[in-house]
Each structure stands twice: as structure tokens, then as C-alpha cells.
Structure 1
Amino acid sequence: MTTRHLQTPIMHRVVEHNGVVYLGGVTADDESLGMEGQTRQVLSKIDGYLAQAGTDNTRLLSATIFVTDLTQKPAMDTVWKAWVEGQDLPARATVGVADLGGNALIEVVITAAV
């Protein structure tokens, strides 16, 4: 069975199928923040989306992180490491991209187990 949560005009933010939760790309609401601030905001939003599906960040399977400036990756990693403490680390890729629209510095796509 497939369960969908938080419909937008173009997608559902959260889709659950066969015990796996898929989150669409998540960006910060306040694009005036720097990389650390935007990363904190994105991860906070992800916490809420995962909770809506009955899971949390200890059940992450994979993460794809898109950043507009790879020199800012250490700032992002600082926030990320505090968020995924312990042994529950997902498979992860960080990809440099030219533009995420507006002043977004980071976008994160997550897959997690329920």
C-alpha cells in the first residue's frame, strides 16, 4: 500500500511504500540564512516530515544533498553530524549544483525506513 502526505501543487512531500519513506527535495524557508542556518532549517523540516510518516532520523537509509557551493560543505557537515549522531548513518552523496532557485544554498532528498 502507498500512503502520501503533504500534497503540493506538483508533488507529495512524503510518500510511504512497503515500509520505506521517500521525501522530496527539502529546502530552507529562510533563504537569507547562511549554509549552517539553512541546513538546520532543512533538517528540522525533515524531522517533521519523518514524524508524519511515523519514523525519525535514526531510520535513514540514504540522503542526497545538493549544495550550490562545495566550499560550504564543511559548514553543512557540522550541522549534519550533530543531527545524525551515533551509528545510524545513511548512505549519502553531496552534489555541487549551479543553482537551486532563489537564494537556496542546500536541498536534501531523504529515504528512510518506517
Structure 2
Amino acid sequence: MIERIDAGPRMSKIVKHGGVAYLCGQVGDGATVADQTRDCLSRIDALLEKAGSSREKILQAIVWLADMSDFAEMNAVWDAWVPAGHAPARACGEAKLARDVLKVEIIVTAACD
């Protein structure tokens, strides 16, 4: 069975299937990469809880940065957020994001209840 949570006409915020939760890409508010990353990860926390999951159950994360020169700044926030011993498979690349003010977008897949 496929469960779609917070579904809209274009996308769902969460799609659950076979014990896995697929989250739509999350962005955050703030002036800096660190601010946006913190806000983005807070939104991911809320969606994971809604999906019956948590940071410890993240299987994969894909991080898009508007500028790879922000890699270290984003990683400092990321590293503090990921629970020790529970680092997911992760990729990070540079991409033109949906709005010019956006500096980071994160897409997460996680095991769920």
C-alpha cells in the first residue's frame, strides 16, 4: 500500500511504501547557509515524526547547494544534527535551486514504522 501524506496537486510532502518514507525536498529560511540548513533540518525532523520515523532511521540524504563553496558551512550544521553512529548514505552536489535566495535543499529517505 502507498500512503501519501500532505498530498497536493503537484506533490506529497511524504510518501510511505514498504516501510520506507520518502520526503519531498526541504529548504529553510535564513540569511546564511547555516541558518537555512538548521531550518531545513528542523522541517525534516517534523516530517520524519509525522511519518513515524526519526533521524536515526534516515537511509539516504541528498543535499543540493546553490554554491559548493558553502559545503563546509552546511556540513558543520549537518554534523551536529546527525546522531552519532547513524550517518546515512549521502550525496551532495551543486544545483540551481528554485528561488535565488535558497542556498540549500535536502531530500531524505528513511525507514519508518
Q: Indicate whether the TM-score tops 0.5.
A: yes
SS of equivalent to 1:13 = strand
Alignment-derived partner of residue 33 in structure 1: 31
- Structure 2 portions without partners, runs of 5+: none
Question: Runs (4+) of structure 1 moved beyond 2 Å?
Answer: none
Residues 1-114 of structure 1 mapped to structure 2, 5 A cutoff: 1-28=1-28, 30=29, 32-114=30-112
Distance 1:100 1:67, change over 3 A: farther
How does the TM-score come out when normalised to structure 2?
0.94
- Offset of residue 97 of structure 1: 1.2
Percent identity over the alignment is 35
SS of equivalent to 1:25 = coil
User: Partner letter of residue 48 of structure 1?
Assistant: A
SS of equivalent to 1:54 = coil
- Offset of residue 40 of structure 1: 0.3
User: Number of matched residues?
Assistant: 112
- Offset of residue 26 of structure 1: 0.7
- Structure 1 portions without partners, runs of 5+: none
SS of equivalent to 1:33 = coil
CA distance in 2, matches of 1:43, 1:91: 16
SS of equivalent to 1:26 = coil
